[in-house]
Amino acid sequence: MIYLDYSANTPADPRVAEAFLRASLDFPGNPNSKHPAGQAAANALSESRSHIAELLSVLPEELIFTSGATESNNLALLGSVAARRHVGRHIISTALEHPSVSACLSHLQENGYEIDLLPILSNGRIDLEALSSLLRKDTCLVALSAVDSELGTVQPLAEAAAHIRRFSDCHFHVDATQAVGKTPVDFSVADSVSFAPHKFYGLTGSGVLYKKKGVPLLPQLHGGESDSPYRSGTPALAEIKALECALELALSEQVSRNEAVRAHNAYLRTALSEEKKVSINSPADAVPHILNLSIAGSRGSAVQASLAAADICISVKSACSSDALPSRAVFAVSRSRKNALASFRVSLSHLTTREELDALLSALAPLLHA
């Protein structure tokens, strides 16, 4: 099998799996318990929290551990608007967001919130002038992705933050799930930032929400005492230890990993740019891990099925999106429904080999020359 869907999920690094197993065996106690086993687990949790905070250049108390990026996004969006009911019911976002954000926005819209989606420029970036003009006194939330999951576009977060800061009551949330471990992320520009380690060779089922100190947020889960006042539940110590390991590895190896991925991306771009039927939808300055393509005359879902028959795994849009609809991200940059329906995503890794890329190109050849 050839796996080229690393933006949906990555295999766990053996060192991460070992960290999970070791913590599972060494700390049987509940970190909320007051007995010695519980206190040993609580101390281990505190150590991991401090180390993760150091890696991200944030404060330990600004970290909320969750079950994944979906929960982190839900908590950030629903919790922030609930805490800002006095501000207003106006929200700004984009058509590029992951379903865990866009579905939250749809829910809020059904409950009386007004949603404005920013125009997307031909390079895949948000229109900052439009952001400035749309912001108003009753804007309670702006939600943007750091890196679009379908195109790989890196958004100008610092520039966006400069506009948003003119409205001190507006919460700025960044979904950095496709960014952390792949490109630098400055957490300080936002009020909250979400990510999950299964995107950088960690485990599925854990996530992080950074919430800037002093920023109001109402919890969305209610229960007993936990390690954070914003999220009830027994702290998943083994998952947090694995997250810590995955993050440390991703950041320390980021340069070498990116060099390999950049070479893979360039190889595919060079080969496919010569094909008349191929449109390369990802901008040239996107993260190299994501390469979005369209083949004229072929639906993206048909390309996926054809490659699956050759034991090659790629995706159509985000793994959490419906395949029946055109890619909103590709439509936003190309303004072509046909191109958006034809699009598919190849996502790369430092684990990818040149032989795998050649096999992909060979499997695509019948579609390109039909």
Report the catalytic residues: 320
Which token pair is 80? 């922030």
SS (H, E, C) 308-347: HHCCEECECCCCCCCCCCCCHHHHHHHCCHHHHHHEEEEE
- Both tokens of 100, joined, read 């865990």
Which residues make Cβ contacts (< 8 Å) with residue 326, sequence separation at least 6? 337, 340, 341, 343
On whether the CB atoms of residues 235 and 38 are closer than 8 A, the answer is no
Rounded to 5 degrees, φ, ψ at 175 are: -90, 105
Distances (CA, A) of 93 to 168, 176, 253: 18, 14, 32
